[in-house]
Structure 1
Amino acid sequence: MNHTAVFYALASAALFGLSTPAAKHLLALVDPVMLAGLLYCGAGIGVSILRRLVPAVRSPASKEVSLGRKDLPWLAGAIAAGGIAGPILLMAGLARTEATTASLFLTLEGASTALLAWFVFHENFDRRIAVGMACLVAGAAILAWSGTPTMADAVGPLLIVGACVMWGLDNNLTRKVSLSDPLQIVEIKGFVAGPINLTLGIWAGASLPALSASLIGMGVGFVGYGLSLVLFVTALRHLGTARTSAYFATAPFLGAVAAIVALGEPVTIQLLAAGAFMATGVWLHLTERHEHEHLHEPMSHSHPHVHDIHHRHTHRHSEPPGEPHTHPHEHEPIEHSHPHVPDMHHVHRH
């Protein structure tokens, strides 16, 4: 298990969860769809600035790889699913669904991500990982429960489930490009999804918020969406989609804890029960040990790496010294056995 990648995934969840109390306050001043647009715009603008500052402190030898032409269809699909279809379905669903029911159905994003990863994109899993994911989803559902959900109109909840499926598809498609520069990926996502959500808000009749609220919203977006998504994409390349989303599912719990500390909200039995389920789910994932004989097919790509068991290639004089470093390299076929997760070098079928 790559514990650094686990830290990235949990840190991503923490930043997103911490943004929830701030967004809750902003909802008193800004329409929900307009706020989503501001959050994405803040993510795009902030990460764009950060991307241009990072080369000053990062070794040129270990720079991230820019998106290539072959990556664009995957990224376009991710943006179309998560930045366009998801918000539209959510907006239509919220208009037909009570708040208690909507909150409960929104917890299905993690499950949608995992199910798509397992059964459509063929990411490996076993009973332990499935039970862990179920515990995390159950914890999120307990946390979201605020009354008996009503199904007087099934169309609204189905639309919200559709939004969750679109965001799950977004996560799986983003994983396909996760060896590329995470800052560039998030920059493009923010600059596309932000204006689209603002346009949807205006189309739905919302008015532009005050300048102060807009700036605060974009600031929250930079931290809670931009930096969070950069860490999420980085974790994707090392853990795979389902496992990264499992750790990210702790975001509502971390947000609730932040609300207790920052806003003085009470500690409830509901929060403790949710925390117990989520702690169990995280433990099941952290203690996973998946090992078997597997074959690495030949591949060629470029990304920051060290000369570990999967990177034993020779170097040309023109290629950067030291580690980590970045350059195009080839992987020869190799068959061996060791503990692994479905990172970008272990995408074999089971």
Structure 2
Amino acid sequence: MNISILYALAAAALFGASTPLAKLLGLNLSPILLAGLLYMGSGLGLSVARLIRDRGWRPSGLTAAEWPWLIGAIAFGGILGPVALMFGLTSTSGATASLMLNLESVLTAVLAWVVFKENADRRIVLGMLAIVAGGVLLAWPQGAVHAQGWTGPLLVALACACWAIDNNLTRKVSASDALFIAGVKGLCAGLVNCSLALSLGASLPQMTVLGPTLIVGFLGYGISLVLFVLALRGLGSARTGAYFSTAPFLGAAIAILLLGESVTASFWAASLLMGLGVWIHLKESHAHEHEHQALLHRHRHVHDEHHQHDHEFEWDGTEPHSHEHQHTPMRHSHAHFPDIHHRHKH
């Protein structure tokens, strides 16, 4: 199995676990403040991790051409998306919101295919539809559904569109430092949501609640987002989004194990659909002759067939390593995903 698929599924598992963990810890906070503190835990935790890893402050390594993509991703995914969702939830039932959130993976894939020209064949589309159908079934309301206006659902849909844009913009910088990308997005989203919550009258909780909230945010939002960025690097937006949309199912499975919640028929049906979708994706084999254009970038790599370059510094043979390197034009054929080296036309 491709390591990037494991990254995507692990990201989904950590994100899905954040809801039952918050419930287990009894984090009874306003939705906006809870979102802000979870994002803040992500940003602070990843920033500290990066300082420890680098033994001090180091530049981000992003090129001038990459900063607009990251700023756009932060604006849509870290600021506009969460704010739209929180306002949408004030006039939307939880069941409807859960159903609407399945739009994120669909819109991510549509943008990836239509706007960013990412490759997708019939197998990938069918797999994504099965996963999304499982998510819809899992979130389908069990009781009566009360009539409600369109404002709330439209705001939730707007949030999904913002995150779909975020996913595709983040893909453009996914070769860069995942800790920096995820950390700065968490800090921005945390500051915006916490400021909004405090301005609306919320107050910070006691340290006995604040500490666990930040830890859950670091794991369920921070580490999850790092893994998501690594998956984007190797799989592209549509496939990563499809795998990540298994998060509600994984969260429900964790709730059953940790909280002893009852197992419903819809859970097993959703399991089958999501399992089918993941299996279809795992069976994908996309191979054809393709041409690599000249490319200059920086990321961790080993010296495989795509990384046959000289070094302008003394190299001790350690792999993987990271440095700016040049790819020369090359034409060959092999199985591949739309990763950072295979964003070619078909």
Q: TM-score range by the shorter chain?
A: over 0.9
Identify the residue that residue 140 of structure 1 maps to in structure 2: 135
Identify the residue that residue 74 of structure 1 maps to in structure 2: 69
- Residue 254 in 1 paired to residue 254 in 2? no
Distance 1:208 1:64 in 2: 32
Question: Residue 103 of structure 2 aligns to which amino acid in structure 1?
Answer: L
Q: Is the 8 A contact 1:13 1:248 kept in 2?
A: yes
Question: Residue 35 of structure 1 aligns to which amino acid in structure 2?
Answer: L
Identify the residue that residue 80 of structure 2 maps to in structure 1: 85
Identify the residue that residue 12 of structure 2 maps to in structure 1: 13
Change in Cα spacing, 1:65 to 1:301, as seen in structure 2 (3 Å) is farther
Cα deviation, 1:42-89, whole Å, max 9, x if unaligned, reads 011111111122347xxxxxx997323322111110110011111221
Change in Cα spacing, 1:151 to 1:169, as seen in structure 2 (3 Å) is farther
From 85, 88, 91, give the equivalent of 1:96.
Answer: 91
From 266, 272, 285, give the equivalent of 1:276.
Answer: 272
TM-score normalised by structure 1 residue count:
0.93
Distance 2:343 2:67 in 1: 20
State the shift of 1:202 in Å: 2.1
Q: Is the 8 A contact 2:27 2:209 kept in 1?
A: no
SS across alignment from 2:66: helix
State the shift of 1:259 in Å: 0.6
User: Number of matched residues?
Assistant: 343
Identify the residue that residue 50 of structure 2 maps to in structure 1: 51
Identify the residue that residue 235 of structure 1 maps to in structure 2: 231
TM-score normalised by structure 2 residue count:
0.94
State the shift of 1:326 in Å: 1.9
- Residue 127 in 1 paired to residue 119 in 2? no
Change in Cα spacing, 1:27 to 1:102, as seen in structure 2 (3 Å) is farther
Higher mean displacement: 152-161 or 47-56: 47-56
Change in Cα spacing, 1:146 to 1:293, as seen in structure 2 (3 Å) is same
Cα deviation, 1:149-197, whole Å, max 9, x if unaligned, reads 5564122211111100101111111111111111111111111110101
Change in Cα spacing, 1:308 to 1:116, as seen in structure 2 (3 Å) is same
Distance 1:262 1:249 in 2: 21
Q: Is the 8 A contact 1:64 1:326 kept in 2?
A: no
Distance 2:112 2:145 in 1: 28
From 216, 227, 230, give the equivalent of 2:212.
Answer: 216
Question: Residue 34 of structure 1 aligns to which amino acid in structure 2?
Answer: L
Q: Is the 8 A contact 2:24 2:259 kept in 1?
A: no
Q: Is the 8 A contact 1:30 1:213 kept in 2?
A: no
- Residue 287 in 1 paired to residue 283 in 2? yes
- Structure 1 unaligned blocks of 5 or more: 57-62
Distance 1:164 1:291 in 2: 32
State the shift of 1:25 in Å: 4.7
Higher mean displacement: 310-319 or 71-80: 310-319
From 334, 337, 349, give the equivalent of 2:345.
Answer: 349
SS across alignment from 1:141: helix
Matches within 5 A, 1:104-119: 104-119=99-114
| RMSD, matched Cα | 1.9
